[in-house]
């Protein structure tokens, strides 16, 4: 298996991390196939948006170029540390490599969860990121997870859903 295929496989394996870890942690059975909407509505709270009372500046859109492996990458500030992410619009949460979490000063709680990914069970540690920003596009209190043996950190929907829009035009992804 090539390094690029391994990276894709690892990303796909973590797509279900955000959706399934609360279910598995609570001991409930996942919903049957076809009831994914019900499962999400019943087990995962949607990340909160910045309240209208919070000061908000309108940053310039951030453009990301597609990498040679076909993926989009972004350097983001996580709690002040620069972390390299692969943008994964199919991942429910931001998922950090253990090394990146350590660089960002994230103290890992003892709690561990199992999530079912494409490749089978994946052990994760749920955390909350104080701050994550790409350029001037910032979010606070972002749900995330830390996973061992991840080749690159994943920028998932717990951050992306807070943006005004994510658009792909050819080999350019625009974050607003």
Kind of pairing between the strands at 73-78 and 81-87: antiparallel
Q: How far apart are CA 100 and CA 102, in angstroms?
A: 5
Tens digit of each residue's pLDDT, the chain (176 residues):
444 444 433 443 444 444 333 433 434 333 333 322 233 333 333 334 443 344 444 568 999 999 999 999 999 999 999 999 999 999 999 999 999 999 999 999 888 998 766 677 889 999 999 999 998 899 999 999 999 888 999 999 999 999 999 999 999 999 99
Only one residue has tokens 């994230």, namely 106
pLDDT at 24: 35
- pTM of the shown model: 0.68
């Amino acid at each position: 298996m090539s390094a690029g295929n391994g990276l894709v496989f690892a990303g796909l394996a973590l797509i279900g991390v955000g959706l399934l870890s609360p279910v598995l942690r609570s001991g409930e059975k996942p919903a049957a196939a076809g009831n994914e909407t019900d499962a999400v509505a019943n087990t995962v709270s949607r990340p909160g948006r910045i309240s209208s009372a919070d000061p908000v500046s309108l940053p310039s859109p951030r453009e990301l170029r597609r990498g040679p492996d076909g993926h989009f990458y972004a350097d983001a500030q996580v709690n002040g540390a620069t972390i390299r992410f692969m943008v994964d619009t199919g991942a429910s949460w931001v998922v950090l490599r253990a090394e990146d979490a350590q660089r960002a000063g994230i103290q890992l709680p003892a709690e561990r969860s199992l999530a079912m990914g494409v490749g089978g069970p994946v052990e994760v540690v749920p955390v909350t990121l104080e701050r994550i920003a790409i350029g001037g596009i910032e979010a606070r209190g972002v749900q995330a997870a830390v996973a061992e043996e991840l080749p690159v950190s994943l920028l998932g929907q717990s951050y992306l859903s807070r943006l005004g829009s994510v658009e792909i035009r050819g080999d350019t992804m625009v974050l607003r």
